[in-house]
Structure formats: C-alpha cells, structure tokens
Amino acid sequence: MADFLSLEFFQALISIVIIDLVLAGDNAIVIGLAARNLPKDKQKPVIIGGTLGAIVIRAIATLVVVWLLKIPGLLLVGGLILIWIGYKLLVEEKGQEDDVKASNSMWGAIGTIIVADAVMGLDNVLAIAGAAHGHYLLVIIGLLISVPVIVWGSTLILKWIERFPVIIYIGSGVLAWTAGKMIVDEPFLKGFFEEQPVMKYGLILLIVVGVLTLGRLSKKKQATQG
C-alpha cells in the first residue's frame, strides 16, 4: 500500500493520464464517425459498447506490453521507439481518423470503433506501458480515468489542443521523459546510471530537450514550406 501512496506512483499515474489525453484525443473522433449514420437513439449504446470494448482490448494489449518490457533489451528498444513517437506527435499532421467508415448497424459500428481504436492506439499502449514501470494497477487506473474523459470529452480536448498548442508540447515532453526513464532503467544499463546520477538525469533531460527542439524546428520548417 505504501508503494501506491508514493510520489513516484502518482507521478507515473499523472504521466499516463497526460499521455492518454494527448495521444488519444483525436482517436476518440473515431466513435463519432463510426456511429454517425445510426439513429440518435442507437448512438449512445454504440458509444458505450464501443468504448467498453476498446478499454478491454487496450488494457489487455498494454498489460502484455508491460510484461514484454521486462525482457532484457526491450526497455531500451521501447524507449527509442517512444522518442520517435514523441517527435512525431509534434510534427505529424492528424487526419487518419478520416478513413474510418460509418456503419449502418449497431454491431458494425461497435466493431469499427474497437478495431480502429486498437490500430490507432498502438502508440498509447507502448507509452502507457513505459510510464507504468511494471505496475499493472497503474495501467488499469490510468485507463479508467482517461478513456471515459477521452470518449465524452473528445471534441473539447481537440478544441483545447487547437487553441493551446502548448498542450501538445507538454504531451511530447512527457513522452520524451518516459522514453528517457525507460532507457536508463534498462537492466544492463541501470547499474551504470545508478552510480552516475548526473549522467542519468542529464541523459533524460537531453532527450526531452532534443525531442522538443527538433519537433519545434521541423514544425517551423513545415510552416515555411507550406
């Protein structure tokens, strides 16, 4: 119980919620797109059913990745992938949800939501698994907090992100921080970094600053070319 009340536990939980909100904000639009052809009275059951299915699939996938990250070498690989995801979050134009087709049946729409969320949520799964640091309970709590917020507040979240672009930078910074933590916690590197705390936190800070700086520069380059 003491572990659940520790500062590290709450820091990881906050990281998971931020990651979920920033990475999955636009994914939630899938729900509206999939159900838009259904009568109004059937849209709510589809949203609830699709959301529950998406939560179950994502929870199972994340728990599997949490377990896989215990294999030597995979924390390092996962950290490097997460650095790329954090950078991509800053520079990539959203819009993949436009490919989601509406369905005329309840079960078809629910299936579309679950499959689309599973495909589009792969980055979330890795990011949450990395932030959880082996705590399965953190994964579940993070999903229970963030997924309902994403589903019922997706439009609001998107408006916030469009109005306050700094939210994207905060999310990217959290991803970069999580990536750095994964790398320094890699079993065959952990001993070295524990003896060199300055290098440990220096590397994490370098990764965060590097991702945000490169992302900012790439975004500016895109704007001038566009």
Question: Is 80 exceeded by the pLDDT of residue 181?
Answer: yes
Question: Which of residues 213 and 148 earns the better pLDDT score?
Answer: 213
Domains in the chain: boundaries: 13-219
DSSP per residue, 25-50: TTTTHHHHHHHTTS-HHHHHHHHHHH
Q: Is the pLDDT of residue 85 over 90?
A: no
Q: How far is CA 84 from CA 59, 125, 140, 180, 210, in A?
A: 23, 14, 25, 12, 11
Look up the pTM and report it. 0.73
Confidence at residue 213, expressed as pLDDT on a 0 to 100 scale: 95
Distance CA 38, CA 46 (A): 9
User: Contact at 8 Å (CB) between 113 and 32?
Assistant: no
- Specify the higher pLDDT residue, 215 or 160: 215
In the predicted model, is pLDDT for residue 26 greater than 60?
A: no
126-147 residues labelled b (16+ CB within 10 A) or e (exposed): bbbbbbbbebeebbebbbebbb
Most confident of 107-116, 149-158, 211-220: 211-220
The mean per-residue pLDDT over the stretch 26-37 comes to 62
Residue 94 has pLDDT above 70, yes or no: no
For 176-192, what is the mean pLDDT?
Answer: 89
Burial state string for 16-34 with b = 16 or more CB within 10 A and e = fewer than 16:
bbbbbbbbbbbbbbbbbbb
197-204 contacts at long range (C-beta below 8 A, 24 or more positions apart)? 204/177, 204/180
Higher pLDDT, residue 70 or 6:
70
The Cα–Cα gap between 25 and 147 comes to 10
**pLDDT score of 214:** 94
Residue pair 211/176 in contact (Cβ under 8 Å)? The answer is yes
Q: Which residue, 91, 67, 80, 90, is CA-closest to 179?
A: 80
Q: Which of 124-133, 146-155, 213-222 has the lowest mean pLDDT?
A: 146-155
Instruction: Give the least confident one: 14-18, 28-32, 67-71, 139-143.
Output: 28-32
Share of the chain above pLDDT 70, in %: 75
Note the pLDDT of residue 1.
41
